[in-house]
Amino acid sequence: MLDSAKRLPRPSGRGDVPPFMVMDVVAAAARLEAAGRRVIHLEIGQPAAPAPSTAIAAARAALDAGRIGYTESLGIPSLRRRIARHYAQRHGVEVDPGRIVLTTGSSAGFMLAFLAMFEPGDRVAIASPGYPPYRNVLSALGCEAVPLEISAATRFALSPEALLAAHRERPLKGVLVASPANPTGTMMTADALAALIRAAEGEGIAFISDEIYHGLDYAMPAETALKMSANAVVINSFSKYFCMTGWRIGWMAVPDPLIRPIERLQQNLAISVPTLSQIAAEAAFDGRDEMEAVKRGYEDNRRVLMDGLPGAGFDSFLPVDGAFYLYADVSRFCNDSLDFAGRMLEEAGVAATPGADFDPVHGCRFIRFCYAGATAEVREAVDRLGAWLKRG
């Protein structure tokens, strides 16, 4: 055998994306639990509750009925119509069901959108801190993620000025924002979102709105970009509000010129989205009452953290507007939040995510707490953290 053949396959540079550090916290927490310790989990960003019972019943019925085949690549037509109806009911905006595309979680939505919208080398602005796969997927596809720092001056929202300044430096092809956002839990007001869309589209910068945390808004109602622009690409998911992370089902609303390219990409990349999950997702819309009860639990947790953390010693955090995250500045205690999160886990038995996952520059000063679990546990976490910080 040739020497060179022995070394195959060689990993590509495109696949050389950074790991997700939260998974190291998860692994460390699992080790402690295996050794008999009780750990309170505030690290992973997923609901503790199951999918709506309507969704589970629909999936059961579909399994009992027998064959689960492929669907049309863009999704089951009745589900696409149901999602369009959701926009009419919740946001008062008419969206043609033909513009709705089902995806394998919003994660696949990003991939389809980036492939359909951008060429290798294109620059796409994202907020920093932000959800790490935005930059990692863009870079795996050969695009350049352009992180724009957000700050208290704009309530931790991307501002039109910052966007246009980056565009003047070197032209941007797109901008992606999330409101409510991960990891910050902050939201943009409807006016701020509209102003950003106007600024972007005025310069020919395509706008992508990650609306995965819609429905989980406490400080103000989350407004969809679909109401503000017919050209915006909206990405959403059943993972968070509908508690369906493992079902891997999401959707996009895309402007007309992108429908066919995305359909062709989906045909080739996935054929179609898991059928059982589509069936369950359609029925999930009938389970909103259950999900509103889950949301009330998050609101209780949010209150426990906002009221309790300052007394425990964590007195500096960003506005806790939506999603189920609180982003705390821990620079009073350390300059390496990865190490801090490790000690917090080991000594206080509370798992949280170091900010470095979300912001390579300033994340070392921050910790993300996820409050999607049980209120009693969130309360216990606050008590444990207070006692831990007092012990020094």
Ligand X SMILES: Cc1ncc(COP(=O)(O)O)c(C=O)c1O
Nearest to ligand X of 139, 331 (CB atom): 139
* x/- map, 243-272, ligand X, by CB under 6 A: --x----x----------------------
Stretch that binds ligand X, among 63-71, 84-92, 100-108, 381-389 (CB under 6 A): 100-108
241 membership: H or E segment, kind and range = none
Kindly report the backbone phi and psi dihedral angles of residue 16, in degrees, each rounded to the nearest multiple of 5, phi listed first. Answer: -85, 60
Nearest to ligand X of 178, 196 (CB atom): 178
Residues 128-187 that bind ligand X (CB under 6 A): 131, 178, 182
- Beta bridge pairs of residue 177: 209
Residue among 100, 117, 177, 212 that touches ligand X (CB under 6 A):
212
- Beta bridge pairs of residue 41: 351
Nearest to ligand X of 192, 281 (CB atom): 281
Residue among 73, 237, 277, 278 that touches ligand X (CB under 6 A):
237
Asked if 239 touches ligand X (CB under 6 A), the answer is yes
Whole-number Å distance between alpha carbons of 134 and 150: 16
Nearest to ligand X of 181, 200 (CB atom): 181
In whole angstroms, the minimum distance from the beta carbon of 265 to ligand X comes to 17
- Which residue is closest to ligand X by CB? 105
Residues in binding contact with ligand X, number by CB under 6 A: 13
In whole angstroms, the minimum distance from the beta carbon of 295 to ligand X comes to 17
Stretch that binds ligand X, among 105-113, 145-153, 156-164, 292-300 (CB under 6 A): 105-113
Whole-number Å distance between alpha carbons of 263 and 268: 9
Q: Are strands 123-128 and 100-103 parallel, antiparallel or unpaired?
A: unpaired
Stretch that binds ligand X, among 13-21, 29-37, 101-109, 370-378 (CB under 6 A): 101-109
Residue among 71, 73, 106, 353 that touches ligand X (CB under 6 A):
106
Whole-number Å distance between alpha carbons of 283 and 55: 5
In whole angstroms, the minimum distance from the beta carbon of 192 to ligand X comes to 18
Q: Are strands 366-370 and 325-329 parallel, antiparallel or unpaired?
A: antiparallel
CB-count burial class (<10 Å; 0-12, 13-18, 19+) for 25? buried
Rounded (10°) angle between helices 375-391 and 288-312: 10
Stretch that binds ligand X, among 61-69, 187-195, 237-245, 357-365 (CB under 6 A): 237-245
The helix/strand/coil state of 177 is strand
Residues 268-327 that bind ligand X (CB under 6 A): none
Nearest to ligand X of 146, 385 (CB atom): 146
Beta strands in 32-185 (DSSP E): 40-41, 100-103, 123-128, 144-149, 174-178
Whole-number Å distance between alpha carbons of 83 and 93: 12
Residues 6 or more apart whose CB falls under 8 angstroms from that of 164 comprise: 199, 203
Nearest to ligand X of 32, 115 (CB atom): 115
Written as one string, the DSSP assignment of 87-117 is HHHHH-----GGGEEEESHHHHHHHHHHHHH
Binding site for ligand X (CB under 6 A): 45, 105-107, 131, 178, 182, 210, 212, 237, 239, 245, 250
